[in-house]
């Protein structure tokens, strides 16, 4: 049984699949050649991440496909319902990268409130000639402890983000249209645990109460945050989007920053990936990363082994 991991697969997943008798093909096949390659090589399982798109053309023209797997959470690049109607099993790994994304949120937040995103640009340029000027420019940082973080979307990643916030001494408020709340378990290095009960509130209240907003929602038809929402937010608040491009109105965000309503924002995802708007890339109030939320060694290993486990389980039930 052949598995094509077109966008790569961590070593742990490869080992688990090969041990179970699967042949793992790590060839990166171009989108236009993918149908022919799958059929010529009798591929039964196609694994992708964000780069490869699995649309109706592949689903209709690759009759031997039994599983389409997405290494990660979102499946925007797969026609999921259509594949399932055609009898193809579609899987993903929603839990594997939650903590990695949550840590990136706080990497951005720590950088924003202490101006690291600007300092790291300017110190190499003028750190030797304008050291004292830079010191004065970046001397008005704030602490996260004691502040309120609002989480829009309180699923796995939102909850993982909340756990880190609670560990830092922040207040957590959350909105989720499908959840009334959640009990969060914080486990420490010595195996002590503390439980927190977080009840969700309205989106409007989250926006009004929060010093920081972190977005963790699936792809949407419209914006989650635009001019109307920015006006509801606290003066000089911050925003982080490590969920999906297109859930923030980026033009309105830049205007809100220029008008000093929003102090700054962090974006790991963009409306126009892989070519974000130049006005975002050049804005000194933005902390930017190129969609790397799940890109840690630990997360990739969990993704690989979780995909392998689901694939092995699926074919075992068919025996």
Q: Could you give the CA distance from residue 5 to residue 79 in angstroms, rounded to a whole number? A: 18
Q: Which residues contact 18 (CB under 8 A, 6 or more apart)?
A: 24
Listed in sequence order, the DSSP H helices in the chain are 11-19, 34-40, 56-61, 80-85, 98-113, 116-126, 131-137, 156-167, 203-209, 227-232, 250-258, 278-281, 297-318
CB 299 within 8 A of CB 96: yes
Three-state DSSP at 237 gives strand
Paired tokens of 293? 């939320």
- Asked if residues 234 and 211 have their Cβ atoms less than 8 Å apart, the reply is yes
Nearest to 48 by CA among 22, 78, 23, 18: 78
As annotated, the active-site residues are 244, 273, 291
- How far is it between the farthest Cα atoms of the chain? 71
Give Cα 272 distance to the centre of its chain. 16
The answer to whether the CB of 212 falls within 8 A of the CB of 173 is no
Structure tokens at 21: 């008798």
């Amino acid at each position: 049984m052949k598995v094509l991991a077109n966008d790569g697969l961590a070593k742990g997943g490869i080992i688990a699949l090969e041990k179970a008798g699967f042949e793992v093909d790590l060839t990166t096949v171009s989108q236009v050649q993918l149908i022919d390659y799958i059929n010529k090589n009798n591929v039964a399982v196609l694994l992708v991440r964000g780069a490869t798109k699995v649309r109706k053309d592949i689903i209709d023209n690759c009759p031997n496909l039994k599983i389409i797997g997405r290494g990660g959470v979102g499946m925007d690049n797969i026609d999921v319902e259509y594949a399932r109607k055609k009898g193809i099993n579609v899987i993903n790994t929603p839990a594997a990268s939650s903590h990695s994304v949550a840590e990136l949120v706080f990497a951005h937040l720590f950088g924003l409130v202490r101006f690291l995103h600007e300092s790291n640009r300017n110190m190499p340029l003028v750190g030797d000639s304008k050291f004292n000027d830079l010191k004065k420019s970046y001397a008005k940082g704030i602490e996260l402890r004691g502040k309120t973080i609002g989480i829009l979307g309180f699923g796995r990643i939102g909850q993982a983000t909340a756990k880190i916030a609670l560990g830092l001494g922040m207040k957590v408020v959350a909105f989720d249209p499908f959840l009334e709340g959640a009990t969060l378990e914080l486990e420490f290095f010595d195996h002590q645990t503390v439980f927190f009960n977080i009840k969700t509130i309205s989106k409007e209240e989250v926006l009004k109460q929060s010093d920081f907003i972190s977005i963790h929602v699936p792809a949407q038809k419209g914006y989650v945050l635009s001019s109307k929402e920015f006006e509801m937010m606290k003066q000089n608040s911050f925003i982080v989007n490590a969920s999906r491009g297109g859930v923030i109105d980026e033009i309105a965000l830049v205007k809100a920053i220029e008008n000093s309503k929003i102090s700054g924002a962090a974006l790991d995802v963009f409306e126009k990936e892989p070519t974000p708007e130049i006005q975002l890339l050049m804005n000194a109030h933005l902390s930017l990363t190129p969609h790397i939320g799940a890109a840690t060694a630990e997360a990739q290993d969990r993704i690989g082994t979780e995909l392998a486990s689901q694939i092995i389980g699926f074919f075992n039930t068919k025996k």
